[in-house]
Structure 1
């Protein structure tokens, strides 16, 4: 501590960022300062009210710093380092996933797609949307009004007749040339205008086309535009925000209760309310941070802000504006922190949703704490916190996948889930598969110094547990408890028994034991994650592999089926009568194909 105090005396008074480092040379906190010397010195005053800050200070071994030209530059650097290092004492609002977008491809006949991730040149992107459901709902709306395709290229290129989407009037069937490229491009242009909030312009153009068609006595064509106008009006009634003066805006509200913080983000794009997204920051407990400022800078560090941001709370507005100007020099933004009129009403709604969510979260966290405490008592493990669960999935021994899911900090830690491809074993040997995945996991814990769980939960019986014990004996593993969860009579949920590594078997566990419910939930999550990975691997192996398994279907008939139906989905959903229409497929063979998929 004396060394640190002497070090503080040498700090510059310039803006910059500082990094608190512990004895393991790991950065535990990153902060920005207008005056480095003054800010760092404030951590070592005698009266520090926050227990969390006092705990952090007790772990500081050294302090590193970087000088910047301005405080706004320091803010950008701070965000980058927090994103890279994820320090344990920083408040972090980051989400696990990037925001989803609606994508219109650059094909000759563009398709509508859900998109998340890197954006490629040529395609057009609309959003961001708060969640995947909002994107899919928008795609359905656009299909209903503008009849644009959403099928993949393989299906599109191999169609020989219109699909069900055309029959229910959700697509103009460009795949079989029922619409020319120029007309389809016009539909795409109108869809773009709609997504940009220019719905009045779209209605005017459709009305003009309808009138021209009617004058030319093309009544069927006029009826198409009439139906589209009606659909568009219905969509506008449902989705458009009539009582908000901004076309594109984010409304941000904060709620705190019982030490928990919640940010509610309302997203309005193109005059439409796309939905809400809720954020619960990490490391917020007992923090004296300015949550609104942190959220604004962290959230828009990766997302381009809309022209208007309506928010509340006390924060350095000038600093945030400078941050935006540095990040997005060619764009103009307006931050409204004292909302009036319609903006105040929407902010109030966002605030109410934030309060509801923070209360629900507090109740859920309380219930999770009760569950882990019950499990500790059931297993007589008072210090149980981190659990890793393993499961195996395959089809008749093929494409074997093992999963590892993690429970910690009162919740499933999705970012720490892992899948393992299992090779070089006898197909279908679940014991060998379990041995292999546990050996690989234990090696990583030892060699890479990864976080060690308090317990490893094995989905299986005594045989799987025996494999786990052999791995532990081979690598002299200590400090990790092994438990297997074996299926009960009739494989019914709730009748499982627990087999412990000391030979004890816990059966007839009360059905209302919430600790046992937690173990079942973790096991089910491992099972889900393993099956999902197995299906993905099986799909990648050969898209048409299932057809090869059907007796009587050779290469020619397989090709004829795929071309006729445009892909496996079409074959799976086809009736016996439809299958029998394919060249080379008689009634008997059609029944065989149908029964294979049903």
Structure 2
């Protein structure tokens, strides 16, 4: 804390009111957001007395703080969730880095659609889930779309599509469908997703037997396949509660400065288990848990019930969540809560060592780097350029903060006409740091170029011209183009032993920036190639272009296709023109 005098002055005037506080580092970045019933008492606790190692590390990075007074503790909690979402502070526990689970969405349109989604904010739809993984969700929606011929198209086409001819759509695009037909299908889908599959299995069994008796063996096999698919999809569905309510169960376990939060989701008797988070703990465990659950329900639908261990204070959750929150003391619900707590402990014990080792390795790597450069290093920016013989010239920049990739800070650059690798490096360094100068942005503690002394010289020339005294290094590669050592701005080799944690971090950074740059290069190249070929053909617009790539997947497969195969996707006349363009021939098939 380089600014303790200013902090003490602010502490003296803190109000004894509810609100949120935002801790900042020396660069003005928000590193932690918290809430308090009384700001004066809570914020003071960070700067007096002894703390554990992790809280001490947080406090050592605080250079300033701000606060926002709210009307109540409930308002403070809601504000805290929004501030965490907005600023993603590194010391806050966040729900799976904003990861959301897959749901099945059944729209309430005239011709409804069933699909897999992760966003559940559309109020004009029903949602079923969450599913343990996207594979299970897609498997279920595929089966239901076979059983019930709902609409498949995003927009109604002008004529029947392939799904109609396969018996998987009623073609509402050209047919008038009785609304009750879709209502019945929606009701059956709801029953299915709540675990009630007896009626559909009985129907399929009768249809299979009838088809077999009429010697329609192929149709009988289709029905048998559907029966097997239903058994497979519903195999893990065990009815634990006769009421078949949707309920979620949460619990946590704390040890050695980490918290493991576990959640079970029960949907129509189907129990889904999921370890939601294991994170370093910088706040009171009750606050971390409440914040986590509140974040979860800001992105996911509320169930009919939430079960919480009886030892927890649920006052705040009851205020902000519009559903029933129970703390069972007996029966099957208590057993479920105890199971969640046991799983939280088991998950913690299994994963803690790995998480702690990873955290320790990052800290060790950054300490080694700071020691080698004789400067405290937190933020690193690294560049890599990519092109093919000078074409599609691009660059990528990745950012690591305290040894962790900060993907929200990554940047891509489409560079000008290629002259040389050194000119490309000069261009991207100039564009990046001239803009930071102009916008008074955050400069890194270290700039790394993916290359040797010539690349360093190119970057140094631009930094000197802009009068920016950045610490600059290059990544020295071995004969296999792998990270070997660091080189400082004067060309001096800085040895990095292979058993150093820093060596593995540098390798990770090199791999990441190379992946990022080359992925962008491929996207630019593929887009240019697609545009240069298909845009030459009269009669191919955006819709037909999408149909062509959807069918053939790649330029190679398109070139290998015959006129007849292409004509299955677009009109024959246009197919002939496209074929000739692809093979550089005229309308008569002669070489152009």
TM-score by structure 1 length? Answer: 0.73
Is residue 72 of structure 2 the alignment partner of residue 66 of structure 1?
no
SS in 2 for 1:456: strand
Asked if structure 2 preserves the Cα contact closer than 8 Å seen for 1:158 and 1:564, the reply is no
Counterpart-to-counterpart distance in 2, 1:516 and 1:172? 59
Is residue 312 of structure 2 the alignment partner of residue 315 of structure 1?
yes
Asked if structure 2 preserves the Cα contact closer than 8 Å seen for 1:145 and 1:232, the reply is no
Asked if structure 2 preserves the Cα contact closer than 8 Å seen for 1:386 and 1:408, the reply is yes
Change (3 A) 1:233 1:571: farther
1:529 alignment partner, one of 516, 526, 535: 516
Counterpart-to-counterpart distance in 1, 2:405 and 2:370? 17
Is residue 417 of structure 2 the alignment partner of residue 426 of structure 1?
yes
Is residue 221 of structure 2 the alignment partner of residue 240 of structure 1?
no
Root mean square deviation of aligned Cα: 5.1
1:473 shift after superposition? 0.7
Which residue of the partner structure matches residue 596 of structure 1? none
Asked if structure 2 preserves the Cα contact closer than 8 Å seen for 1:160 and 1:564, the reply is no
Is residue 380 of structure 2 the alignment partner of residue 387 of structure 1?
yes
Which residue of the partner structure matches residue 351 of structure 2? 357
1:438 shift after superposition? 1.5
1:438 alignment partner, one of 417, 421, 429: 429
1:125 shift after superposition? 4.5
Change (3 A) 1:312 1:471: farther
Change (3 A) 1:208 1:190: farther
- Matching of residues 184-333 of structure 1 within 5 Å: 190-191=188-189, 193-204=191-202, 206-207=204-205, 221-237=219-235, 239-243=236-240, 247-274=245-272, 276-281=274-279, 284-285=281-282, 290-312=287-309, 314-324=311-321, 328=322, 331-333=323-325
1:356 shift after superposition? 1.6
Which residue of the partner structure matches residue 19 of structure 1? 21
Asked if structure 2 preserves the Cα contact closer than 8 Å seen for 1:20 and 1:28, the reply is yes
Counterpart-to-counterpart distance in 2, 1:272 and 1:214? 34
Change (3 A) 1:231 1:480: same
Counterpart-to-counterpart distance in 1, 2:455 and 2:57? 46
2:394 alignment partner, one of 386, 401, 408: 401
Which residue of the partner structure matches residue 502 of structure 1? 490
Counterpart-to-counterpart distance in 1, 2:427 and 2:511? 21
Which residue of the partner structure matches residue 410 of structure 2? 417
Counterpart-to-counterpart distance in 2, 1:259 and 1:313? 23
Is residue 126 of structure 2 the alignment partner of residue 140 of structure 1?
no
Asked if structure 1 preserves the Cα contact closer than 8 Å seen for 2:475 and 2:483, the reply is no
Number of residue pairs the alignment of both structures matches: 557
Asked if structure 2 preserves the Cα contact closer than 8 Å seen for 1:389 and 1:526, the reply is yes
Is residue 524 of structure 2 the alignment partner of residue 517 of structure 1?
no
> Any gaps of 5 or more consecutive residues in structure 1?
594-598
Which residue of the partner structure matches residue 99 of structure 1? 100
> Any gaps of 5 or more consecutive residues in structure 2?
584-592
CA offsets, 1:510-535, max 9 Å, x none?
Answer: 66565333212111111222233344
1:300 shift after superposition? 2.6
Which residue of the partner structure matches residue 545 of structure 1? 531
Which residue of the partner structure matches residue 551 of structure 2? 567
- Greater relative contact order (Cα < 8 A, sep 6+): 1
Asked if structure 2 preserves the Cα contact closer than 8 Å seen for 1:193 and 1:202, the reply is no
Asked if structure 2 preserves the Cα contact closer than 8 Å seen for 1:465 and 1:501, the reply is yes
Asked if structure 2 preserves the Cα contact closer than 8 Å seen for 1:390 and 1:404, the reply is yes
Which residue of the partner structure matches residue 589 of structure 2? none
Change (3 A) 1:281 1:44: closer
1:263 shift after superposition? 1.9
Change (3 A) 1:293 1:447: same
Asked if structure 2 preserves the Cα contact closer than 8 Å seen for 1:197 and 1:247, the reply is no
Which residue of the partner structure matches residue 471 of structure 2? 480
- Matching of residues 14-53 of structure 1 within 5 Å: 16-19=18-21, 31-34=34-37, 39=41, 43=45, 52=55
SS in 2 for 1:297: helix
Counterpart-to-counterpart distance in 1, 2:66 and 2:565? 76
Asked if structure 2 preserves the Cα contact closer than 8 Å seen for 1:389 and 1:458, the reply is yes
Change (3 A) 1:54 1:188: closer
1:201 shift after superposition? 4.8
SS in 2 for 1:240: coil
